[in-house]
Amino acid sequence: MKDKAKAIIEHFLNTWKSNNFTGMYELTQQTWKSKHSKKQFKKLLTIKGSNPSRLKSFKVTEIKEFMPTVYDADIVLMIGGNRKKVTARLVCETEPYKPSVDGEFGVNPISLIKNLY
């Protein structure tokens, strides 16, 4: 499960480096996606009306199991000329509100951005 979580967060971050916000949205947690639009997602990554923040580089420093369906990824981001340490939560779900080890991991975007700005 840890390897699956790592693969998803790395894919999410590489998609961000490519400025592919639609691709990033598709990699978010199913529960979050069921309540929020792509437009709302892009707004999360935007600083006060400017363009969405551009990710220059990243390093996943650690992946920790919180429970079998929830993992936390500690990450160092180089974004907008600043180095930021953040933690992204990944949740494995079969559908919204249904955590299961048989599901697919998705990134909870709120967990990622709460220490970004």
Q: Which amino acid would we find at residue 50?
A: S
Write a three-state SS string for 68-97: CCEEEEEEEEEECCEEEEEEEEEEEEEECC
Q: What pLDDT does 70 receive? A: 98
Which pLDDT tens digit goes with each residue over 58-102? 999 999 999 999 999 999 999 878 898 999 999 999 999 999 999
Confidence check: pLDDT of 23 > 80: yes
Q: Which pair of tokens denotes residue 54? A: 């551009």
Helices and strands (H, E) in the chain, number of each type: 5, 5
| List of domains in the chain | 2-113 (3.10.450.100)
Confidence check: pLDDT of 51 > 80: no
Confidence check: pLDDT of 46 > 70: yes
Q: How far is residue 11 from each of residues 4, 35, 52, 60, 72, measured CA to CA in Å?
A: 11, 22, 18, 11, 15
